[in-house]
Amino acid sequence: MNRFQTILLLTLILLTGLIPVTIYTLEGNSLTRDIASLPTREMPLYEQAAQALAGLVIKPIYMMLCLAVIVALIGQTRPALTVLMWGQVAFLVGEIFCAINFYIYRHESLVSEYLHSFGMALAFGLTLLALIEWVEMLTNAQRKPLFLKEIRAFTLFALPIFAVLTFIPLLAPLQTDAYTTTIFNISYSYARFEAYEIYERRVLPALSMIIFIVTFFYLLNGPSVMPFRAKAMLCAGLGALGFAYFRIALNAIFAENLVWFEFWEEATELMFVGGVAFALWRFRFLLKKTPLLSMFLVEKNT
């Protein structure tokens, strides 16, 4: 196992280990929540249509697009593309659990939603790491040492700022809400349980702060350039904090009307996967022509 694989595996183990600890500690060993006693709210027709569009059209589209991106990246050997592939895998796995919770459990499964959030946070971090690796890959060989040195200097400057920014979600009050409704005569529920809020506003920011502090002192007393280990740690912290801010923003705006929370989360996820797919299409000349890729990639006209 090479250095990258070792670091990635250890990161996955560390983050995954938080899942059972958080669930069983915060929820008293409960894997689901009873929604039978939740209050009922009526939804106007246009909101029902928005939820149906988000769940039955937008979600399947970006999940299939994400799968196509993963297939295109299988067999690629450049580090940036390998990291990006695993980021898309994490995202797709998270969305599969989201679909399970959406279609089967009607938001009742804490485990499914937790794994959905975990997959998104991990995908954010890996995608950012892939972007840094991609820029480094495109950097001229003679300028690469300067690039890594500047990245290290900027990271040392930014890490204390990122650490301070973790206090915003840490100090933000929890915004919980849950209710049942009907969407075209089908029973459905919206839930922002306390477990979700604690994970997003307490666990992830605290984890990010620890990562930022450790990375800062590692770089301060470490190499003069930005090593891969430091880049991976930085992106892990930013991925967790970025997802926390993403969820806090949606919940703050749509705290009392969760249909739009779900609609805009699905819409932005389509934008996210669409942006990755567009970037790969624009730089397709840098992709290794694997058998799987050749099945759907159009050759660039020369």
Q: pTM score, two decimals?
A: 0.86
- In this prediction, residue 288 has a pLDDT band, given cuts at 50, 70 and 90, of confident
Per residue in 203-256, pLDDT tens? Answer: 999 999 999 999 999 999 888 888 888 998 999 999 999 999 999 999 989 988
Indicate the DSSP class of residue 77.
Answer: -
What does pLDDT average to over the chain? 84
Per residue in 95-130, pLDDT tens? Answer: 998 888 877 777 777 778 888 898 999 899 999 999
Helix (H) or strand (E) holding 182: strand 177-183
- In the chain, what are the domain boundaries? 48-294
Per residue in 177-188, pLDDT tens? Answer: 888 888 998 888
| Maximum alpha-carbon separation in the chain | 65
DSSP-assigned states of every residue in 248-286: HHHHHHSTT-HHHHHHHHHHHHHHHHHHHHHHHHHTGGG
